[in-house]
Structure formats: structure tokens, C-alpha cells
């Protein structure tokens, strides 16, 4: 069950039902960076019920009904990528609505986080969640998303096009 608004009231709703009905719901997205300009992105597993095989930010999810966004961000980094002992900092809140295929809509109110990878950080992606990962320079990522938007999740495109300054600060202006 995820927190979603039904008739203006925050209510526990099954995740698939929230996407089928296009309900506005809570979400968390995390970007992990290293060496000041490299962003860790993931390719979503083919078994995901929407946007399988597309590249996305480091991790994203929906908080459990009574879970704080901070705790959710740390939990999901560990569940998806086996990353622990980093503490993402809250960068702000974003709302977006996007068609993610097969009649499903993501209408999310997202708490966005940024974390810096410590030197030598290792991780082990969960194959049920992630089929590949890569580090990519922030500027190369923006260019690639612009050239090939069909290879990326709609939310990653939205974050980079509309919210780079909030998420990445001075990096987005250089």
C-alpha cells in the first residue's frame, strides 16, 4: 500500500491501482553522484510492470504508508542496489504527471535526494529491480536524454529538464 490522494484525502492504495487510476501519490527519488559530476543511473529490470528496460535515476520508489521519506530513500538504495551507509540529503519536492505506457500514469509528489558516493563505494544491484547500472557524466547524461528520450524514464527527463538546479545545484549551471 502506498500513500495516495483519493478525493482529496491521503489514503493507503495498492501501487498498481494508483498507477491505473492516475492517482497523485507520494514518491522518493535518489541521485548518487561521485567525482563531482558523475551520476549513477540504473536500467530498470525487464520484469517491472512499467518502463522495463528504460534508464532511470539511481533509485526511486514509493514510501510505505507510515514511512518517512528519508528512511524510504535509504531503504530503497539498499533494496535496489545494495548501497548502505550513505545519507542522502533532501533537495526538494517535485510534482509531475507522466504516461508510462500500458494505460498507466505516474502522478507523483516526489521528495528528491542527492547523495555523494564515498571513495571506493561498491554496490550489488538486485536483479529483480535493476538489470544494469552505469556512471555517466552529468552533462553527457543530459545530452543523451535529449538525443534519445525513448531510452529513459519520463521522470528522469523531467528531472533533468525542469529541476536540475534544485537537484544538482551549481553543477547544472556550469
| Candidates 60, 72, 106, 111; catalytic one | 60
Nearest to 19 by CA among 125, 128, 93, 98: 98
Please pick, among 80, 106, 108, 111, the residue that the annotation labels catalytic: 108
Active site residue 60: yes
| Catalytic site includes residue 72 | no
The beta strands (E) that lie in the chain are given as 2-6, 9-13, 24-34, 38-44, 55-56, 59-61, 89-101, 104-116, 130-137
Give the three-class secondary structure for 165: helix
Alpha-carbon distance 28 to 115, whole Å? 13
User: 102 with 16: CB under 8 angstroms?
Assistant: no
Cα dihedral 96, 97, 100, 102, rounded to 10, equals 160
Find out whether 49 and 16 touch, Cβ atoms under 8 Å. yes
- Catalytic machinery residues: 60, 108
Amino acid at each position: 500500500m502506498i500513500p495516495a490522494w483519493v478525493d482529496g484525502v491521503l489514503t493507503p492504495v495498492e501501487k498498481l491501482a494508483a498507477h491505473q487510476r492516475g492517482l497523485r501519490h507520494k514518491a522518493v527519488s535518489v541521485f548518487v553522484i561521485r567525482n563531482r559530476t558523475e551520476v549513477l543511473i540504473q536500467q530498470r529490470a525487464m520484469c517491472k510492470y512499467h518502463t522495463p528496460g528504460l534508464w532511470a535515476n539511481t533509485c526511486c520508489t514509493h514510501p510505505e504508508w507510515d514511512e518517512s521519506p528519508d528512511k524510504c530513500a535509504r531503504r530503497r538504495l539498499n533494496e535496489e542496489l545494495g548501497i548502505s551507509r550513505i545519507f542522502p540529503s533532501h533537495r526538494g519536492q517535485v510534482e509531475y504527471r507522466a504516461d508510462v505506457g500500458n494505460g498507466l500514469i505516474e502522478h507523483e509528489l516526489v521528495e528528491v535526494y542527492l547523495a555523494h558516493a564515498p571513495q571506493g563505494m561498491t554496490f550489488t544491484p538486485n536483479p529483480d529491480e535493476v538489470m544494469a547500472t552505469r556512471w555517466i557524466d552529468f552533462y553527457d547524461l543530459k545530452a543523451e536524454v535529449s538525443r534519445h528520450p525513448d531510452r529513459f524514464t519520463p521522470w528522469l527527463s523531467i528531472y533533468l529538464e525542469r529541476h536540475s538546479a534544485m537537484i544538482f545545484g551549481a553543477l547544472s549551471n556550469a
